[in-house]
Structure 1
């Protein structure tokens, strides 16, 4: 019976939120395609573009935690509506930038508007699904990133060549505004508000979450619990290291491909290759993680493999085919690792602590979105080559792999402690088969 309830909830929630995330990825990343025409039109230098691409993540970092706490307080439906409406409006403003400072300002506003969307959805899914089901749902949801990136590149390229870069931002900003009102009308705040679930199905979903042994926290105490939890902080640093290279590559990829002498259309289309590969691999990887009920090694192995691929790619001869191949494989592996990362539990809590811990991890990880493109921009401008950037990408990835191993051992110790009933404030109860620090949202 529980599997039936999980299937119904998945069919009702995942498509709508997946489409919203698709538009989110498009509106965040379309500057990588628009830059092919926008940069020369408004006089953006390489370094200025890198800074503008990255400043989005500064405001995202600043507003992420408050946004997630407001979502927990006001409910997912209304807060996700607010996020989508504001980011759609700001996306339209990108069509009116005229110099580097206006570019910086609108990108900063876009980061503030979008802050909290992705972790808010992960937090929201935690209201509905037990740990094992959550792994599959998050894996499928995260697969939207490469799918959106793969489709966005040719769509944005077509709009760029047919209508110009200003209309590109207009056409890709409007859907967020429309979907905001769909969310307001269709998305329930939680299990109890879902009219399409029977009472027995609601009971089954609640029982699955309760079986994970989560402990409820509220308000300020929940936030303090998350901030003081060592595993939450380590996982946040891990996500920063993991995404540093991912952002450095993805936001520069069309221009890197263009440097090989490939035209505008070709650069846009070839930019979709690594994301198309990741779109195939991520769901398969998530399914394997769910079936084996293992989290940490599913994050560690692709991280290490990505580090090796980027390092080898840095020392290859200047060959467009080889370079694009290794870039594609490296980006796909880093996305696989990131999808597995979001299935790793953070804290044995629901409610405010869950909202805070998810936001802390995502906000610090997205701060890498500022440093990655900005550092890459200055290095490319100083050296005239992207090879040094590739050579340095392996370092943060190795650090991320080490941190994954450390948090895995911490999770095992916490699981053992919980089994003995010695975790502070936690009564002995059912022990999840793998990780005890399971993040669960507050069901009201």
Structure 2
């Protein structure tokens, strides 16, 4: 028997649209890693130091525009904001394929970060409008699955596109789908349950009543200033900063790390090997989000996995490039462990802060993650260039994850209110 809020219909109508949208955003930010491994630096005369900075510039633009985007989404419309962003980032991504000099590439990478900045917090706000507390970790996970699943298929497709045509054509072809999808998003997405026709009035009322009930169990916070000064929000900002150092140091430089270690390896082989960690991450994210919602425990499904990720990086450093397959296997473990906690992590904020400030707080945390991503992607590329290998960057990413573990442990979110006797999850 279906729930009073028609959970099945909401999942089927909302999550595929959310997943595809975030997947396209991730495609257009992560394919730079394949261009870096395929010769963009040689073609444009980019030094190793400048190459790492160019890869990271996306996150600098991403950092500055998170909060304004979240405030617009919270107070106005997620639907309008995402439509505009889809068109703009698709155009910017395709333009990357026609630039001929370093300043133009730097400008495109920064602008791409700006127009994608609002996507993550806006989508988290969107999910909080449609899914209850007992569903939220899984809903967040299916959003963020757009990240590893995209890199999974992008790793293979980009390898073939580059080998068949070149890095320029890869950028142009992979930017077009976002523009096309913008018009699909406009037709399919609605900001609130009250605006759709595929839920009955009773289902809409039951869903809104459940969401309102959850808000009553959260301590009131007057404004963004008060929320941003809270101890837990500050700790989560620091935690996500250090966590993102590991994630994006890994994402942007994995193809280069694999190609430098593998003897006479072509881009297609690099693509397939780069895809495996994201397949493992996809499976881990689904399992972890289900367990987190089942046990209603968020932290338990964050810090142990980040600890495993840090230990895997240290293991890959210890075995070295002379044992390529062992080192690569440990990188698969690191990738899966770093991605698995995303769903539980982003479920913490809506359960700790009321709706009027939760979106802004998520944007602040995500912006600090963007700053960590900038530092990680830039410094890992720098270390790889200076040392001639990934060993130093493995240690750097491991230490960042260990700090993230400690910060997670000292966060003390509000305990969720117990369900009434006899009540069932949606």
Corresponding residue to 1:170 among 149, 156, 172: 172
Query: Structure 2-normalised TM-score?
Result: 0.93
1:256-275 equivalences under 5 Å are: 256-260=257-261, 261=263, 262-275=265-278
Per-residue deviation, residues 252-271 of structure 1 (Å, max 9, x unmatched) = 11111111222222112211
Work out the CA distance in 2 between the residues paired with 1:155 and 1:263.
Answer: 14
What's the secondary structure of 2:225's corresponding residue? helix
Corresponding residue to 1:284 among 264, 284, 287: 287
**Alignment correspondent of 1:400:** 404
Work out the CA distance in 2 between the residues paired with 1:266 and 1:340.
Answer: 34
What's the secondary structure of 1:196's corresponding residue? coil
Matched, 1:386 2:396: no
Once the 2 structures are TM-superposed, how far is the Cα of residue 216 of structure 1 from its aligned partner? Answer: 10
**Alignment correspondent of 2:87:** 85
Corresponding residue to 1:205 among 198, 204, 207: 207
Per-residue deviation, residues 40-66 of structure 1 (Å, max 9, x unmatched) = 211222221110110110111001100
Once the 2 structures are TM-superposed, how far is the Cα of residue 332 of structure 1 from its aligned partner? Answer: 1.1
Once the 2 structures are TM-superposed, how far is the Cα of residue 217 of structure 1 from its aligned partner? Answer: 7.9
Per-residue deviation, residues 264-283 of structure 1 (Å, max 9, x unmatched) = 22112211110011111110
Contact 2:239 2:403 in 1 (8 A): yes
Contact 1:217 1:350 in 2 (8 A): no
**Alignment correspondent of 1:374:** 378
Matched, 1:138 2:145: no
Once the 2 structures are TM-superposed, how far is the Cα of residue 223 of structure 1 from its aligned partner? Answer: 1.8
Matched, 1:53 2:51: no
Structure 1 segments unaligned to the other structure (5+ residues): 416-430, 435-444
Work out the CA distance in 1 between the residues paired with 2:223 and 2:186.
Answer: 27
**Alignment correspondent of 1:437:** none
Q: CA RMSD in A?
A: 1.8
Work out the CA distance in 2 between the residues paired with 1:312 and 1:433.
Answer: 41
Matched, 1:28 2:32: no
**Alignment correspondent of 1:350:** 355
Work out the CA distance in 1 between the residues paired with 2:60 and 2:27.
Answer: 19
What's the secondary structure of 1:343's corresponding residue? helix
1:286-325 equivalences under 5 Å are: 286-318=289-321, 319-325=323-329
Work out the CA distance in 2 between the residues paired with 1:32 and 1:277.
Answer: 19
Aligned length: 412
Contact 1:239 1:338 in 2 (8 A): no
**Alignment correspondent of 2:190:** 188
**Alignment correspondent of 1:422:** none
